[in-house]
Structures are given as C-alpha cells and as structure tokens.
Amino acid sequence: MKQINDYRHKKILVLGLAKSGVGAASLLHKLGAFVTVNDKKPLSENPEAQGLLEQGITVICGDHPIDLLDEGFELIVKNPGIPYHNPMIEGALSRGIPVITEVELAYKISEAPFVAITGTNGKTTTTTLVYEMLHEGAKSPLIAGNIGTVASDVAQEATEDQTIVIELSSFQLMGIQTFNPKIAILINLYDAHLDYHGTLHEYWQAKANITLNQTENDYFICNSDQPEVMEIARQSKAKIVPFSTSRILDNGAFVQDGWVYFNQEKVMNTVDIVLPGAHNLENILSAVAAAKISGVTNEAIYKVLNTFKGVKHRLQYVHEFEGRKFYNDSKATNILATKNALAAFNQPIVLLAGGLDRGNEYDELVPSLKNVKSVVTFGQTAEKIEKAALEAGIKTVQRVDNVEKAVPAAFNLSKPGDVILLSPACASWDQYKTFEVRGDIFIEAVHKLK
C-alpha cells in the first residue's frame, strides 16, 4: 500500500461501524490519524467497537451526540448507509467538515488500479463477471466493495500489477473526492433509493460520480440505450466505450446475428452463454468491454460465459422438488429487478414478493405478471402487491407473515412444472437485516420441504 501522510495527525471521526467503518477506523489509525469512532449500538452489544477500543481508538457508543461535532474534527468518514439528512451529517457539513466514504480511503492508498461498477441493477453480476474474466485471463484481480471484502482492507494488500474490481452503490459514490477508476462502468439508471436521496436528480448525480475524476487516459463503459446514461457520458473526460443490447455500434460492445461483438470483432456466440435472463445481456456486454480493454482473450471470456450460471440471490436456481423449480432472487429490491426476473421464465410462476415500503405503488409490475398464476405476499408492502396482483387478474393471492412461511404456502399453491420464485420487488429491511439473510431463509425453507 502507498504510505501517505494525508491523514497523519488529523482528527477524524468515523461515523457508523459495520465492516466499512471498522476498516476505515483501523486504516486511519495505521496512517497516524487521531481517530474517534461513533456508533449507535451500545458498547456492550458492539464487538466491532470493542475491538477498535483495544487498538487504542477512541470509541463513543449508544447514540450520535451532535455536540461531538464541536471537538475540532477535520474529516468525517461515514458509513454509506447513513443518509445525508442525518443530523450529524447535516451538522458536519454546516460546520464545513468534509464527509467522505471508505472507498475514498481505499483509492488513496491503493497501488492497484480500479475497475469500478455501478448501476441501478446488475452491479453484483457484472462485478463478478469482470472479476472472473480477469482471473481467467491471468490479470490477478481482487474483488472488493459491496460484493466482497471492504475496499480499504483489499487496497492495503493490492500491488501495482493487480486490479481491484469493485462494486459501488450511489451511497458510496456520494462520498468521494479524488476516487478515479481506470475503468468505470455505468450499467443502467432507473428510479431507486429515493428514500435516501430525496430526488431522482440527486440519485443520478451520485451515480455520475463514478466518472467524475476520470481523465482521457481512463475508460467509461456506458449504456448507449439510455439517454440518461449518455448525458453523463457527455460530461465525462474519459474514453467513452458504449454498449447496446438493441443496436449495432461502430465501436464498443453489442450483439449482431447471435454474436457478441467488441469493436467490430466477434467475441462469442450467444447460444454458448449459460447465464439466464435477457436482462443479463447488459451485464455481459459491459463485462466483455472491461475485459477486452484489460487485454483478456476471447478464449478466456468464452470460458467464463460458457460456465457462469449467476450469483447467489440473483435469480439463483435453488432446487427442484416434486416437479417445482425454486429460484432465489432476493436481490430484486426494486420493481424493475422483479420485472426482469419474471421475464426470464415461460413456465407458470408462483411469485413470493413483499418487503420494505418506500412509498411507491406497484402498478408498473402489472404487465409483467402475465405468467404468474399465484402470489404470496409478506412484509410492509403486502397489501400494495396484492392490489397489483388483483389488477393483473391473478385470482389466488395469499398473505403470510414472512419468507419462511411463504415457501410452503407457495408449494401448496403450485403444481408440477411450475416455477416458485422469490423476487420481492422491495428491500428487506422491514423484516431482515439484508437481502442475503432473506435469501438464505428462503433457501433453508425450500430444503425443509423435503
């Protein structure tokens, strides 16, 4: 890692723990900063905070006292999940204290360049595909961010001949200052996270930060089918590398006559791609572009796309039981993701959906429910999703308490040949800590049917 003095002897507040907060606090301590950690969870229930205390880091737990901001901090590193309308963040910004996220620290110390991936949908699949292609191409990649190890931990070990492949959310991207990936990917842009960002414009601006600091020596891979994405591309200083699932391009990645092309070169036949779902073509094309820019051979790309079946919790095939196939798409935390999942199947579907109520309705889901024979709902949005199901003409709609109870209920409503699909169209936080927890509970409940 680079030995930098940017934070030496600076008084820095790390706000909110979880993995990124622990990583940031430890790294800053190592870099000679005077670190204070503030986390809402009480110290007695907070092993992460206790571990930092043992390192000699000042820890304040139990609440977020606003007067803490009067202690002369020069920088705040916040957990990405803490919104900017949080009183502590508003108070810091009003005092002129800069606020960043942990990914900025990772960039500052990393000897390795970054391939950074963002978008409303498909981030994890694309990040995994890029990593696998670089790995197959012997490019020594490391994986970080939302999908893997905390970026600042990975960056400490990375060498200049490696590449860090990182998945980034809008929450993380709002908190950058100098972060500049060698290759940036913006897969798509849709309405999402308005409870956090407040406006669609702010959400899109956060996503645009992925190319904010890029130069003419860098690459910006972007979805040329979306005017919103191309507007961001027009403001970028990087080399623009477009991809399209619907048009033939002069350069970049596209599909023609059943072949994936990059810069007019045939890469592989689409019949040999095993990843299901038409929506995954955006992910595949953007990953192919990143791999080709990085010097990966067509043979290595073929090997990955001919074997890669998907990521856990993303349209993941779980099991077949008594003629029913079970799929876990717990990562579908918005309506578009669920629409994409439903479009991947021709068989009758029993849909399991529901979760955190962010205030939106589900009318736009109605046209995608044509193959759905029954719906099992749960969580805060149960009633709203039931309304959409009834509008779509689905006669069998059942409400249960949670995902665990939804699985046997769905099985009882199904017949051999049906698909039973968990694709909630909602975040998990009303009942489950993460979408991964929700998906794991679904998988466990499926196996209990035996």
pLDDT tens profile 229-285:
999 999 999 999 999 999 999 999 999 999 999 999 999 999 999 887 777 999 999
Residue 1 located in a structural domain: no
Question: Do 95 and 113 reside in the same domain of the chain?
Answer: no
Nearest in space to 141 (alpha carbons), one of 200, 96, 102, 182 = 182
Asked whether residue 36 is marked as a ligand-binding residue, the answer is no
104-108, 190-194, 235-239, 273-277: range with lowest mean pLDDT: 190-194
Task: Tell me the C-alpha distance between 166 and 269, whole Å.
Answer: 28
Residues forming beta bridges with residue 254, ordered by sequence position: 244, 261
Residue 65 located in a structural domain: yes
Residue 310 located in a structural domain: no
Asked whether residue 121 is marked as a ligand-binding residue, the answer is yes
Share of the chain above pLDDT 70, in %: 98
Q: How confident is the model at residue 347 (pLDDT cuts 50, 70, 90)?
A: very high
Question: Do 202 and 285 reside in the same domain of the chain?
Answer: yes
Residue 84 located in a structural domain: yes
pLDDT of residue 18: 84
Residue 435 located in a structural domain: yes
Residue 3 located in a structural domain: no
Interval 82-96: pLDDT, tens: 988 899 999 999 999
Q: What's the mean pLDDT in 213-224?
A: 98
Which amino acid is present at 297? T
pLDDT of residue 201: 84
Average pLDDT, the chain: 94
- 146 has pLDDT over 80: no
Please give the model's pTM, rounded to 2 decimal places.
Answer: 0.81
Nearest in space to 116 (alpha carbons), one of 178, 179, 174 = 179
Task: Tell me the C-alpha distance between 97 and 175, whole Å.
Answer: 13
Question: Do 72 and 118 reside in the same domain of the chain?
Answer: no
Q: Contact 387/317 with Cβ under 8 angstroms?
A: no
Question: Do 77 and 217 reside in the same domain of the chain?
Answer: no
pLDDT of residue 61: 95
Choosing from 100, 128, 153, the residue where a domain stops is 100
Question: Do 112 and 86 reside in the same domain of the chain?
Answer: no
pLDDT of residue 386: 98
Q: What's the mean pLDDT in 367-384?
A: 97
Interval 41-57: pLDDT, tens: 999 999 999 999 999 99
265-269/259-262 β-pairing: antiparallel
Residue 5 located in a structural domain: no
Task: Tell me the C-alpha distance between 230 and 254, whole Å.
Answer: 16
Asked whether residue 11 is marked as a ligand-binding residue, the answer is no
Question: Do 23 and 135 reside in the same domain of the chain?
Answer: no
Choosing from 100, 126, 160, the residue where a domain stops is 100
Question: Do 256 and 230 reside in the same domain of the chain?
Answer: yes
Question: Do 364 and 439 reside in the same domain of the chain?
Answer: yes
Asked whether residue 270 is marked as a ligand-binding residue, the answer is no
Phi, psi of 259 (to 5 degrees): -120, 145
Q: What's the mean pLDDT in 408-435?
A: 97
pLDDT of residue 216: 98
Q: How confident is the model at residue 147 (pLDDT cuts 50, 70, 90)?
A: confident
Residue 177 located in a structural domain: yes
Q: How confident is the model at residue 149 (pLDDT cuts 50, 70, 90)?
A: confident
Share of the chain above pLDDT 90, in %: 86
Asked whether residue 251 is marked as a ligand-binding residue, the answer is no
Q: What's the mean pLDDT in 140-160?
A: 92
Residue span of the structural domain in which 34 resides: 11-100
- SS3 per-residue string spanning the chain: CCCCCCCCCCEEEEECCHHHHHHHHHHHHHCCCEEEEEECCCHHHCHHHHHHHHCCCEEEECCCCHHHHHHCCCEEEECCCCCCCCHHHHHHHHCCCCEECHHHHHHHHCCCCEEEEECCCCHHHHHHHHHHHHHHCCCCEEEEECCCECHHHHHHHCCCCCEEEEECCHHHHCCCCCCCCCEEEECCCCCCCHHHHCCHHHHHHHHHHHHCCCCCCCEEEEECCCHHHHHHHHHCCCEEEEEECCCCCCCCEEEECCEEEECCEEEEEHHHCCCCCCCHHHHHHHHHHHHHHCCCCHHHHHHHHCCCCCCCCCCEEEEEECCEEEEECCCCCCHHHHHHHHHCCCCCEEEEECCCCCCCCCHHHHHHHCCEEEEEECCCCHHHHHHHHHHCCCCEEEECCCHHHHHHHHHHHCCCCCEEEECCCCCCCCCCCCHHHHHHHHHHHHHHCC
pLDDT of residue 121: 87
Question: Do 200 and 267 reside in the same domain of the chain?
Answer: yes
CA distances from 143 to 128, 146, 150, 243 (A): 8, 9, 9, 23
Question: Do 215 and 326 reside in the same domain of the chain?
Answer: no
- 197 has pLDDT over 60: no
pLDDT of residue 200: 79
CATH number, domain containing residue 130: 3.40.1190.10
Question: Do 55 and 70 reside in the same domain of the chain?
Answer: yes
CATH number, domain containing residue 384: 3.90.190.20
CATH number, domain containing residue 25: 3.40.50.720
- 324 has pLDDT over 80: yes
Q: How confident is the model at residue 195 (pLDDT cuts 50, 70, 90)?
A: low
Asked whether residue 124 is marked as a ligand-binding residue, the answer is yes
Show contacts of 206-209: CB within 8 Å, 24+ apart.
206/170, 206/171, 206/173, 206/174, 207/118, 207/119, 207/120, 207/170, 207/173, 207/232, 208/232, 208/235, 209/173, 209/174, 209/176, 209/179
Residue 416's Cβ-count burial label (10 Å; 0-12, 13-18, 19+) is exposed
Asked whether residue 333 is marked as a ligand-binding residue, the answer is no
Q: How many domains does the chain have?
A: 3
Question: Do 276 and 139 reside in the same domain of the chain?
Answer: yes
Choosing from 84, 100, 116, the residue where a domain stops is 100
Please state the length of the chain.
450
